[in-house]
Amino acid sequence: MPVELPLAEVVQPIHRLVTAQFLIATAVARHMIYRNSGVILTMTGSGVPTSGMGGAMAAWAAVDALSGQLARELGPYGIRVLWLQSNGVT
C-alpha cells in the first residue's frame, strides 16, 4: 500500500539522481564554457507509474526539469543540453 512506502525510499532516488546529474553537468560545463561549445546529454525513463518504483518517476521528472534549466543557463555559452526519455523495454 502507498501509505506503507517510507518517505526515505521515495526521496532517495530523487536525491541521488538529481545530485549526480547536477554535479556531472556543472563539472563539465566549466570546461565547455571555456571553449564556448559543448553538449551535455542525459537520459531518463518515462511511462506509466507502476507500484514498486519508489521515487523513480519523480527522479526522472526532476532530471528533465534540471536539464531544461541547465539548457537555459548554459545556452548563452554555446552549450547544448539534451535529454532523452526512454519508455524502457517490455
Q: Give the residue, 7 or 46, on which the prediction is more confident.
A: 7
What is the rounded distance in angstroms from the CA atom of residue 22 to the CA atom of residue 11?
Answer: 16
Calculate helix-pair angle for 56-74, 7-35, nearest 10 degrees: 20
Res 1: pLDDT: 46
Q: How far is CA 25 from CA 1, 31, 65, 79, in A?
A: 36, 10, 14, 11
pLDDT at 88 over 70: no
Res 81: pLDDT: 97
Res 90: pLDDT: 52
Mean pLDDT across 28-41 = 97
